[in-house]
Chain A
């Protein structure tokens, strides 16, 4: 089955700096790669996603890149703010055929 590895497990940055979280996946059939933000006491919130026919997607301060050949994808957050502090999860899936496989999460702390 699919295996998703996520790094780093914790990340601390200064407000205004950029943050990068990386994930690798194992199943070449995976074609959907969402990212979720989970704040304390809340459920995961979908913040951005990318499909395998696209190499990069951007939404304001958040961007995701996908390298299908190397089977890795990354989340980039620019101009970080304290409210970006949360746990971020990547996931990989083969839409319509199987469930998402989640990474183990990255705890991002943005220091004011």
Chain B
């Protein structure tokens, strides 16, 4: 089954404690991206990757890092989380084109206290 898998689904952490949210896709997609979803603000892109070792900033990249060492994996890293990063996060992928997200993961609800 074609899917994008995120882990964990839920996470509560404290300010400043580094965390990583993993994302993996099984469709051999080149393009992957991360979004955050906030009430009233909709979905906003954090980072995207066109292929292995190729990443770029989205609309709201501050406070986040990503890496793309393998085609299937695209982890989101919060080096020093802050309460304003409390949000619902989604990983997405598509075959090739930037800005054509076809599959989204189930989401990771992050709370930073």
Classify the secondary structure of B's interface with A: loop
- B45 near A100 (CB under 8 angstroms)? yes
Instruction: Tell whether, in the assembled complex, residue B106 and residue A42 are in contact, meaning their CB atoms are under 8 Å apart.
Output: yes
In the complex, per-residue mask of A87-99: 1 if CB is within 8 Å of any chain B CB, else 0: 0010101111111
Contact B42 A34 (CB under 8 A): no
Contact across chains for B100 and A95 when beta carbons are under 8 A apart: yes
Contact of A102 among B43, B100, B105 (CB under 8 A): B43
> Is B12 an interface position by the 8 A CB rule?
no
B70 to chain A, nearest CB (A): 21
Q: Kindly state whether residue A43 has any CB partner on chain B within 8 Å.
A: yes
The docked-state distance in angstroms from the alpha carbon of A44 to that of B106 is 8
* B74 CB–A CB distance under 8 Å: no
Interchain CB contact under 8 A, B102 and A94: no
Write out, one digit per residue, whether chain B residues 63-104 have a CB within 8 A of any chain A CB (1) or not (0): 000000000000000000000000000101000011111111
In the complex, chain A residues whose CB is within 8 Å of the CB of B100: 32, 34, 49, 93, 95, 100
Q: Is the CB of B90 within 8 A of A96?
A: no
Q: Looking at the complex, which one of A32, A44, A104 makes contact with B40 (CB distance below 8 Å)?
A: A104
Contact in complex: A96, B101 (CB < 8 Å): no
| Interface: B25 (CB within 8 A) | no
Q: Is the CB of A95 within 8 A of B43?
A: no
* Per-position binary interface string of chain B over residues 21-62, scored 1 when its CB falls under 8 Å from any chain A CB and 0 otherwise: 000000000000100000011111100100000000011000
Which residues on the A side are within 8 Å of B104 (C-beta)? 36, 43-45
**Which chain B residues border A34 with CB–CB below 8 Å?**
100-101
Cα A91 to Cα B104 in complex, Å, equals 14
Q: Choose among B40, B41, B99, B105 the residue that contacts A100 (Cβ–Cβ < 8 A).
A: B99
A39 to chain B, nearest CB (A): 11
B43 pairs with A96, CB closer than 8 A:
no
Chain A residues, CB < 8 A from B4: 43
Q: Which residues of A contact B98 (CB under 8 A)?
A: 95-99
> At the interface, yes or no: A20 with Cβ under 8 Å from chain B?
no
Chain B residues with CB below 8 A from A89, complex form: 42-43
Nearest 3 A/B pairs, CB to CB = A43-B104, A93-B99, A99-B45
